[in-house]
């Protein structure tokens, strides 16, 4: 699978999270890169952080599926980072991210409840524990074991 536009491994070299291909020359470079990737045998190409019109042109130009992440609606498919979709982190997210849940807040609350229950001895209960037959416990010398 090919990957053009904003590539995380070269983000710092590109000056941070910046949309790629905003001017005509850079956009044509991305189209050429996509053609080369398709010609080289890529089965699909991820288009990340590129203007929607550039992504649409790439999609029309190559014969392999395009998968957009911050590349507009005209790609053949879409992807978002799992943590972003579920809202697992509280951080500034790129413009194209749509959070479908706020599991960070729910997760913090759940972990606090868990820690409180462990500290107080409310977790685990007998119902949440595996049991051994009394005869087997006695054979081990565990008389009166819970």
Do 63 and 129 belong together in one domain?
no
Answer with the residue of higher pLDDT: 59 or 81. 59
Query: Domain range holding 10?
Result: 2-79
* pLDDT tens-place string over residues 5-26: 998 766 655 566 788 999 999 9
CA 83 – CA 86 distance, rounded (Å): 5
Do 6 and 75 belong together in one domain?
yes
Query: Once rounded to an integer, what is the mean pLDDT over residues 67-73?
Result: 95
Query: Residue 35 burial by CB count (10 A; 0-12/13-18/19+): exposed, middle or buried?
Result: middle
CA 12 – CA 109 distance, rounded (Å): 35
Percent of the chain with pLDDT over 70: 92
Question: Per the domain annotation, does 87 fall within a domain?
Answer: no
Do 7 and 40 belong together in one domain?
yes
Query: Once rounded to an integer, what is the mean pLDDT over residues 97-116?
Result: 93
pTM of the model: 0.74
Do 118 and 50 belong together in one domain?
no
Question: Per the domain annotation, does 145 fall within a domain?
Answer: no
Do 7 and 75 belong together in one domain?
yes
Q: Work out how many domains the chain is built from and give that number.
A: 2
Token readout for 111 is 């972990």
Answer with the residue of higher pLDDT: 104 or 13. 104
- Out of 44, 79, 114, pick the residue that ends a domain: 79
Is the peptide bond preceding residue 11 cis, with omega within 30 degrees of 0? no
Question: Per the domain annotation, does 35 fall within a domain?
Answer: yes
Q: With beta carbons less than 8 A apart as the criterion, state whether 50 and 33 touch.
A: no
Beta strands in the chain (DSSP E): 2-5, 45-48, 66-69, 77-78
**Active-site annotation, residues:** 48
Query: Once rounded to an integer, what is the mean pLDDT over residues 42-68?
Result: 97
pLDDT at position 16, please?
Answer: 63
Which of these ranges, 18-27, 62-71, 88-97, has the smallest mean pLDDT?
88-97
pLDDT at position 95, please?
Answer: 87
Query: Once rounded to an integer, what is the mean pLDDT over residues 99-119?
Result: 93
Query: Once rounded to an integer, what is the mean pLDDT over residues 75-94?
Result: 90
């Amino acid at each position: 699978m090919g990957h053009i536009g904003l590539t995380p491994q070269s983000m710092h070299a590109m000056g941070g999270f910046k949309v790629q291909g905003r001017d005509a020359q850079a956009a044509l470079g991305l189209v050429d890169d996509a053609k080369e990737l398709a010609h080289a045998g890529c089965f699909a190409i991820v288009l990340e952080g590129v203007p929607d019109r550039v992504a649409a042109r790439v999609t029309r130009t190559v014969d392999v599926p395009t998968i957009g992440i911050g590349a507009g609606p005209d790609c053949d498919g879409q992807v978002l980072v799992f943590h972003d979709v579920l809202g697992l982190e509280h951080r500034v997210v790129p413009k194209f991210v749509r959070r479908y849940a706020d599991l960070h807040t729910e997760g913090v609350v759940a972990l606090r409840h868990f820690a409180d229950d462990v500290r107080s001895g409310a977790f685990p209960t007998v119902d949440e524990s595996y049991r051994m037959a009394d005869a087997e416990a006695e054979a081990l010398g565990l008389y009166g074991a819970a």
